[in-house]
């Protein structure tokens, strides 16, 4: 019989990992959205930043219901590096194509975070939330990739 305390810790760890990825996405989409010149892409990126914040809030609420009192995450070191690298490329005149390539790298990391979390023990209601969010992340990745291909 599985150890419920062990399962709860595994679930908490998986959710915290995704929350860190969502923080990276929220900040990355906002920052890139502010720098994009294409108004349609700018609007999409800023809206996607808000979506990542909502996803994060949903997962933090789940952790609170599971008894986790303090949920203070800050994103990942890789995400911070990717945003800084994107800033440097933008300052060097990389344009929308360069910013979109940076965003696609961030989306690759988000997809990986969800994929890795889904390998963990997760109660069905939490797995359903992550499956829905993951489908959105996948669609967003495809949108960013197509936009990047258009702006090469």
Q: Which CATH number does the domain housing residue 103 bear?
A: 1.20.1260.10
Is the residue at 61 inside a domain? yes
Is the residue at 140 inside a domain? yes
Is the residue at 1 inside a domain? no
**Given pLDDT bands bounded at 50, 70 and 90, which one contains residue 95?**
confident
Number of domains in the chain: 1
DSSP structural state of residue 67:
T
**Given pLDDT bands bounded at 50, 70 and 90, which one contains residue 98?**
confident
Q: What letters, b where the CB count within 10 A reaches 16 and e where it falls short, cover 65-90?
A: eeeeeebebebbeebeebbeebeebb
Is the residue at 83 inside a domain? yes
In angstroms, the CA 29 to CA 137 distance is: 12
Is the residue at 85 inside a domain? yes
In angstroms, the CA 127 to CA 44 distance is: 27
Q: Which domain holds residue 90?
A: 7-150
**Given pLDDT bands bounded at 50, 70 and 90, which one contains residue 132?**
very high
Is the residue at 143 inside a domain? yes
Q: Is the pLDDT of residue 85 over 60?
A: no
Helix (H) or strand (E) holding 78: helix 77-91
């Amino acid at each position: 019989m599985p150890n419920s305390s062990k399962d709860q810790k595994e679930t908490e760890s998986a959710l915290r990992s995704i929350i860190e990825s969502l923080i990276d996405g929220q900040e990355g989409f906002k920052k890139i959205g502010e720098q994009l010149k294409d108004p349609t892409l700018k609007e999409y990126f800023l809206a996607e930043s808000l979506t990542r914040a909502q996803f994060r809030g949903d997962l933090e609420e789940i952790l609170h219901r599971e008894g986790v009192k303090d949920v203070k995450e800050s994103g990942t070191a890789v995400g911070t590096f990717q945003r800084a690298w994107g800033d440097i490329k933008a300052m060097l005149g990389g344009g929308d194509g360069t910013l979109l390539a940076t965003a696609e790298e961030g989306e690759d990391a988000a997809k990986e975070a969800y994929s890795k979390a889904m390998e963990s023990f997760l109660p069905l209601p939490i797995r359903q939330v992550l499956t829905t969010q993951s489908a959105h992340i996948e669609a967003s990745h495809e949108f960013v990739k197509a936009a990047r291909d258009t702006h090469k």
